[in-house]
Amino acid sequence: MEGMTQESEIVRAIEALMFVSDEPLTPAVMAQALGVDRNTIESSCRMLQSLLEERRAGVVLREVAGGWRTFTHPDAAEIVESFVLSTRQGRLTKASLETLSIVAYKQPVTRHQIASIRGVNSDGVLKALIERGVIEEVGRDETPGRPVLYGTTPAFLERLGLPSLAALPPLAPLLDAVEGGEAPERDRTKVVVGDLDEAAASTLAREGTEPEPGS
Q: Does residue 48 lie in a domain region?
A: yes
Q: Does position 13 have pLDDT exceeding 60, yes or no? A: yes
CA dist 105 and 60 (Å) reads 38
Same domain, 71 and 96: no
CATH number of 21's domain: 1.10.10.10
Predicted pLDDT of residue 206: 37
Residues sharing a CB contact under 8 Å with residue 186, sequence separation 6 or more, in sequence order: 116, 117, 118, 119
Same domain, 68 and 109: no
- Report the share of the chain in percent with pLDDT over 70: 72
| Number of domains observed in the structure of the chain | 2
Pairing mode of beta strands 67-72, 59-64: antiparallel
> Tens of pLDDT along 67-101?
898 888 888 888 887 776 665 555 677 788 888 88
Same domain, 50 and 136: no
Q: Does position 154 have pLDDT exceeding 50, yes or no? A: yes
Predicted pLDDT of residue 11: 94
Q: Provide the domain limits for residue 60.
A: 7-76
Same domain, 63 and 34: yes
As beta bridge partners, residue 64 has 67
Same domain, 167 and 96: yes
Same domain, 108 and 187: yes
Same domain, 11 and 48: yes
| Top-confidence range, 39-48, 73-82, 164-173, 206-215 | 39-48
Same domain, 58 and 137: no
Most distant pair of Cα atoms in the chain: their distance: 61
Out of 86-95, 99-108, 186-195, pick the least confident: 186-195
CA dist 209 and 202 (Å) reads 14
Q: Does position 172 have pLDDT exceeding 60, yes or no? A: no
Q: Does residue 214 lie in a domain region?
A: no
CA distances to 179, 186, 200 from 195, rounded to whole Å, are 17, 15, 9
Same domain, 46 and 149: no
CA distances to 56, 145, 184, 201, 206 from 108, rounded to whole Å, are 45, 16, 20, 24, 27
Pairing mode of beta strands 135-140, 67-72: unpaired
Contact call for residues 126 and 135 (beta carbons, < 8 A): yes
Predicted pLDDT of residue 1: 45
Q: Output the DSSP codes for 72-112.
A: E-GGGHHHHHHHHHHTTTSPPPHHHHHHHHHHHHH-SB-HH
Total residues found in the chain within this entry: 215
Q: Does position 192 have pLDDT exceeding 70, yes or no? A: no
Predicted pLDDT of residue 71: 87
Predicted pLDDT of residue 164: 82
Predicted pLDDT of residue 198: 46
Single-letter amino acid, residue 132: R
Out of 127-131, 133-137, 151-155, 201-205, pick the least confident: 201-205
Predicted pLDDT of residue 171: 59
Contact call for residues 195 and 174 (beta carbons, < 8 A): yes
pTM: 0.45
Give 163 or 49, the one with higher predicted confidence. Answer: 49
Domain boundary among 41, 76, 111: 76
Q: Does residue 1 lie in a domain region?
A: no
Contact call for residues 200 and 8 (beta carbons, < 8 A): no
Q: Does residue 186 lie in a domain region?
A: yes
